[in-house]
């Protein structure tokens, strides 16, 4: 595969201090290369969500280093981190986190506003992204007028709108039925075939089976 998009080296994450200290991650080494499709699995409390938060620049390592697109993340200010997240990362969550008062189109446009994309270009790109996930007919619908699967498609369109280096999906099918799950996973497959780098946290074997590689966490470490 290609060059590294994300590299965790010796990453530890400790919450609390003294006798109350909990080591959520314990010296994790993980490299995600451009074009990878990686599933992250592990029981509750295994460290997979903490690792995802660090990959997504939502949390910082207690020690060790994280490089995203060759940028050492631990040295960045909060504002620089926010810029990096908006530019290089896309997020899809179990709960769709759409703004209820905005249409599907405007939900997808929002990240481009923060990224400084010219207004004339935003609508065109948002419409193309929604067409890509099969929602070309639903541009003006608000979230409460869409099914769960359709809302997740809007969330995926929003996540890919700034062409992120890394797409992070945290239990993206957790709130969906089996047929809708298959449809949403087909979209991730198509994005990956189109060159997108995907890391997906899941506890479902059939969801993980869609990925090219599976990483298992236990007790804050990667197994094997």
Query: Looking at the predicted structure, is the pLDDT value of residue 21 above 80?
Result: yes
Q: How many CB atoms lie within 10 A of CB 50?
A: 22
Query: Looking at the predicted structure, is the pLDDT value of residue 1 above 60?
Result: no
DSSP conformation class of 160:
H
Stretch 10-17: mean pLDDT: 93
Q: Report the chain's mean pLDDT, rounded to a whole number.
A: 92
Query: Looking at the predicted structure, is the pLDDT value of residue 197 above 80?
Result: yes
pLDDT at 82: 87
With contact defined as beta carbons under 8 Å apart, do 155 and 130 qualify? no
Least reliable range by pLDDT among 112-116, 195-199, 206-210: 112-116
pLDDT at 95: 87
63-68 β-sheet, strand order:
22-33, 4-15, 63-68, 71-72
pLDDT at 199: 97
- Angstrom CA distances, 148 to 22, 90, 143, 157, 189, stand at 36, 19, 9, 14, 19
Cβ burial, residue 101 (10 Å; 0-12/13-18/19+):
exposed
What is the SS3 assignment for 118? coil
CA gap 125, 211 in Å, rounded: 27
Homologous superfamily of 37-46+78-222 in CATH?
Answer: P-loop containing nucleotide triphosphate hydrolases (3.40.50.300)
171: left (phi over 0), alpha (psi -120 to 50) or beta: left
At 209, the pLDDT band (50, 70, 90 cuts) reads very high
pLDDT at 186: 94
5: Cβ–Cβ under 8 A, 6 or more apart, which residues?
A: 32, 33, 34, 36, 68, 69, 165, 166, 197
pLDDT at 87: 86
pTM, to two decimals: 0.91
Query: Looking at the predicted structure, is the pLDDT value of residue 185 above 80?
Result: yes
pLDDT at 94: 85
CA gap 165, 150 in Å, rounded: 24
Rg value, the chain, Cα: 18
Query: Looking at the predicted structure, is the pLDDT value of residue 115 above 90?
Result: no
Phi, psi values for residue 5, rounded to 5°: -90, -45
Stretch 123-134: mean pLDDT: 94
More confident residue, 115 or 129: 129
At 35, the pLDDT band (50, 70, 90 cuts) reads very high
pLDDT at 17: 86
Which among 143, 194, 44 is positioned nearest to 135, based on CA atoms? Answer: 143
129: Cβ–Cβ under 8 A, 6 or more apart, which residues?
A: 108, 157, 158, 160, 161
CA gap 105, 136 in Å, rounded: 10
CA gap 193, 37 in Å, rounded: 10
Domain layout of the chain by residue ranges: 37-46+78-222
Stretch 207-222: mean pLDDT: 95
Query: Looking at the predicted structure, is the pLDDT value of residue 23 above 70?
Result: yes
């Amino acid at each position: 595969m290609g060059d590294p998009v994300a590299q965790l080296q010796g990453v530890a994450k400790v919450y609390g201090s003294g006798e109350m200290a909990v080591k959520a991650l314990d010296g994790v080494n993980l490299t995600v290369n451009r074009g990878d499709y990686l599933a992250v699995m592990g029981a509750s409390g295994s460290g997979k969500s903490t690792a995802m938060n660090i990959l997504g620049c939502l949390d910082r390592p207690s020690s060790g280093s994280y490089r995203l697109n060759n940028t050492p993340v631990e040295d960045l200010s909060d504002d620089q981190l926010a810029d990096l997240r908006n530019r290089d990362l896309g997020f899809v969550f179990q709960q769709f986190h759409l703004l209820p008062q905005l249409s599907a189109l405007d939900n997808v446009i929002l990240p481009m506003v923060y990224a400084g994309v010219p207004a004339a270009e935003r609508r065109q790109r948002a419409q193309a992204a929604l067409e890509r996930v099969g929602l070309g007919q639903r541009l003006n619908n608000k979230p409460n007028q869409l099914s769960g699967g359709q809302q997740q498609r809007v969330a995926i369109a929003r996540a890919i709108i700034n062409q992120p280096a890394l797409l992070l999906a945290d239990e993206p099918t957790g709130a969906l039925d089996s047929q809708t799950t298959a449809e949403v996973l087909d979209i991730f497959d198509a994005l990956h075939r189109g060159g997108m780098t995907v890391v997906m946290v899941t506890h479902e074997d059939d969801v993980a089976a869609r990925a090219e590689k599976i990483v298992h966490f236990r007790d804050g470490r990667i197994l094997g």
